[in-house]
Structure 1
Amino acid sequence: MNLDSRAMAPSTACVVEQLESDIIFGRLRPHQELVEDALMARFGAKRHIVRAAIQELAARRIVVKPRSKSARVKDFTSTEVEEIYYMRALLQREAARIMPLPSAPDALNALKEVHVRYVAAASVGADQDLIHKLNDEFHLRLFALCDNKMLCKAIAFYTEASNPIRSYGITDASWLRRAIAEHTAMIKAIEDQDRGALETLVVEHMQPSRQRWETMRAGA
């Protein structure tokens, strides 16, 4: 391999990002097999890169890799969804409960700036991956205001695990309008130091995507 080809070879992170996007937005469906040779050909990647990417996706709980079998896109049971959302509600409410109010001005302004970019992307019908990333960035900055790194890490873990569930409807116009309104309300609750409203919002905000997933699965 020459220097140019090595420079062009994708990193594990790049392969993970693309496969995760494919799973989140339904381009790879539940139970679909992830064949190493096919992924190597698709990405122009070495086998160790593909295997490392699959291991990372398995760690994020969106891919399963049984012993001596090919990896497959995870399919969630209703019980797993209930448990994941129970943990998300528990952790996110706790983050709102302990969040110092008033928040540090610089951190709050950074949250507002992400919200502005999210609204702009949603308004112009931007790429769904961009909308998803901005939505994630908003929530990362929101919960970072609680000043508890381990709690934020736990929130991020369960948020990542719920990606294939919460992505349902993420670019739907009505879903986006509600998300924007609720993000705006969260910022206002922080500014008003209304902890009760914030605790309610961070839990209720999760429900539409879960309900949409349940409805679509019921009709499948």
Structure 2
Amino acid sequence: MTQPHPLPRLSAVADDYDILLCDVWGVIHNGRESWAAACEALTKFNEKGGHVVLISNSPRPSSDVVAQLDGLGVPRSAWKAFVTSGDATRMELARRAPGPAWIIGPDRDFPLYEGLNLTSAHGAEDAAFISVTGPYDDTTETPEDYRERLTPAAERGLELICANPDRVVQRGDTIIYCGGAIADLYEQMGGRVIMAGKPFSPIYALALKEAEGLLGRAVDRSRVLCIGDGV
């Protein structure tokens, strides 16, 4: 079995790849500030003819997250395209419109639903499916706070679409729960779950489509490198 080995720098393997699919949170920023060395490495890859496609488990559309990257100091030169789990989730939601959908998540994630003509349900009792971006309040809530509320949904066999498969994320020095933790709980309760983001296929299909547009030809998958902060 081949064992992993550390690389001293991206440039050591950069010539072997045309496309970098690069994670965002935990790789180029920590939610409070960007990491200059990582951004510089991506910029150099782009300057030498490569193409960086950022892939994020943000539950919002990529167009809504670009301003956040700018605010954190991530230079536009570090990437050429950007795909989020929010983009992949919108495709899943559009197929299920008009719902109604029981929407679980903070108000800041509402751009995910704009223009989809989804009806909002009050809870499990009148919903056709569930859409989860994360806890309503990720500063205080845990997945267990949702067990009682999710019980009737599992009993009804409602499908849950998770816009952020991450279980936890680091915000500065604090670890907070994400949508994936709620989805895991629901699955343990016998519920059906669809994951739209990493490491599942919908977001990678979108990212490779963006890469194809950048290359102007079909993507040779042997020349695609994925970079993340965990396996």
- Structure with the larger helix share: 1
TM-score grouping bracket, smaller chain normalisation: under 0.3
- TM normalised by structure 1 equals 0.28
- Structure with the larger strand share: 2
